[in-house]
Amino acid sequence: MYRFLFTPAWLGRLAVALVLATVMGLLGGWQLSRYEERSAINARIDAATAETAAPLTEVLTAPSAGASPGPAPPEEALWSMVTATGRYDPDHEILVRGRTVSGQVGYEVLTPLVLPDGAAVLINRGWVPPGGDAAGAHPEVPPASTGQVTVAGRVRPSESGSRPVETIEGVTQTRRIHLDTLAAALPYPIYGGYLQLDTQDPPADDALTPIPVRRENALLNAAYTVQWWLFAVLVLVGFGVLARKEATRGSAPAAPKAPAPPVPPVAGSNAETGRGG
């Protein structure tokens, strides 16, 4: 009944179905791994909100002297809350342009916090809108607090994609928080991660908009996982349905042939007249 499955045509169809189902299954597995990664990030964000902030030096490795930043923060440290005490250095403040908050493009303000040992950690103090109607107009940046400051912030890694540090009309700017590039523009060693400011003592200026914590959309990856695995099952089920139809059609009894209609005699033939030529 199913001997036709061993014909070249059906073996080819089976091979295509198996390849498609395998690819879709692997895509579903990749989406599942992304779901697990994003869920772990969200769990770290939630845990950091509930736990007491740790000192910076307990989470990040101090930098050594030189133009390179310290070691990058370990993955389990990302989004964790840490504290640091030092003095802001507004003379080496850097604006990161092209940053969007609540649908508006503006600037993020990076200010080095110089620690008692002479090293510094970059603090993302917040976001400010452009100074005019154009997105690239220089903003009015609230000055950093003077004197000793204690900050609490979330650990963030260096961004990929190096962009140059430029001085435009007296304002130091860049497009990416790429710590290797920024370290070369600063007169002291910096940590290999920066802090996204959460709270500060004394309090930060209200004109700075806090950078929102970006939670990962893990549920989207979960939906994609189910979708790809469902597609894989449907491909195999579809092949089975086609094979079943073919088997049913091949096993159906052949319909009896209708008898041929009688041939009418031809007028004037010998058979009709009884006479020979």
Residues 6+ apart with CB under 8 A from 128: 106, 107, 109, 139, 140, 141, 142, 207, 208, 209
pLDDT higher than 90, residue 9: no
Say yes or no to pLDDT of 1 above 50: yes
Q: What is the pLDDT of residue 252?
A: 54
Residue 267 pLDDT level (bands cut at 50, 70, 90):
low
At 36, give phi and psi (nearest 5°): -65, -40
Query: Among 7-16, 55-64, 115-124, 129-138, which stretch is predicted with the lowest mean pLDDT?
Result: 129-138
Record the pTM: 0.73
For residue 114, the surrounding DSSP H or E stretch is strand 104-114
Residue 123 has pLDDT above 90, yes or no: yes
- Specify the higher pLDDT residue, 84 or 267: 84
Give the model's confidence band at 6: pLDDT under 50 very low, under 70 low, under 90 confident, else very high. Answer: confident
Looking at residues 77-86, what average pLDDT do you find? Answer: 94
